[in-house]
Structure 1
């Protein structure tokens, strides 16, 4: 295995193990490209973890913009993920605007401003997780991918909202609030109370509303998932775990506000294998 390829795979394995497992189901000739997309996502999603101040984070996001916008014949930059991503964008003619939108959405991660509304949250999910699914689909099957852009939107919202719920303890520790202000208001809470308080009935109701919203998008995805061609399954495969994570949150003894829901390695492997080989089956 080439050193650069190994470094890209290790980036995904360390930062986003669920997507790492899903990418292994991609055809061998497309796998490296899918890993480069997931590694890029891991790099920009983890900026807040590595850089505490917002300004250096924005500088890092701008660096990625410059790398992606550069001419294709520009020499390699010496960053394994960046070089792999540039090669993927060129080889598969991926739209650079999608990456620019993704980077712009990630600016929100660097600050502690509250998420204003459900519409804003869905927009954030669309520019991040949904865009990543659609880009992976374009790598896997550029002919079929455009037909499932709307389904990718639903899938991305379900996956991203579930991911944000899993990160609630970390976000609250930082003083961040990704739960929309309008959902919090309806639940009898507020962004400040949710992020810095000790929870309480309002916060629990807001979490339940977020789980319900994620399930709404997941259900819409599952209704259309049977039409997915086998060629596109790997791009959507992380959704195989979403329902299980939500179920775990709903039945856990400790609130998602305080504890992270986890699935055993065996269960994750089984769910991914089942969807990869049989597709999505509605209960």
Structure 2
């Protein structure tokens, strides 16, 4: 019986709905089709409980199937996305050896809050894609304003980022989002970016991976809605501010203005492109008619 399943590749973030598996296909044909569809060189299939699938006959209609893109990839149980305003509610599930264990959340240092959430993710891997937002938007918003006034030094911002994410700015930013040399003579290429990143880290303790995904989305949105030739992917301070807004929008804390704004810009750009292509096509058709003696 032909079945349609949903494919999800955690390492690439790709999801394919309604992938068709026919009973007339061999095992290798199915795997090859999945590799082609996802654009990967290797494909191993797993259930959402991270159990290897070897018999495709066991698949159910509309089943969600996890796909490993490399032979060395360690597949973890599926982790749905989500958001929660976090204030230490899961403290009992943190590893007891974690620094600050049993202390009230509000008494923890920035580093201890980071380790607290890192421990939660390790103890509860199926919650790794649930963003635990550690500050209300009302307290974050004023910080974004003061960042424009350069109220924090790059050194202080960098130290805070390390405490909250256990990583440096250079390691946090993907290659596509940073210049070849983020630092020259000890100075960052853009101090406002570092300052705003410290704000992003202030409510995403221990969750740099999720924060990075929102930042990458913000940069992508800026590039998509650009109506000129400005396609530079190097992150800007405004990109980080947009990433902050995206988090709280998706969490339902503030209205989704940024997403709506993006859609309008993209539609406008696509409309202009379509009009230009139409004009070029009409011109070519007119020239063809003249050439044929019409």
For the criterion TM > 0.5, the same-fold answer is no
Larger Rg: 2
Q: Which TM-score applies when normalising by structure 1?
A: 0.30
Choose between structure 1 and 2: higher strand proportion.
2
Determine which structure has greater relative contact order: mean sequence separation of CA pairs < 8 Å that are 6+ residues apart, divided by chain length: 1
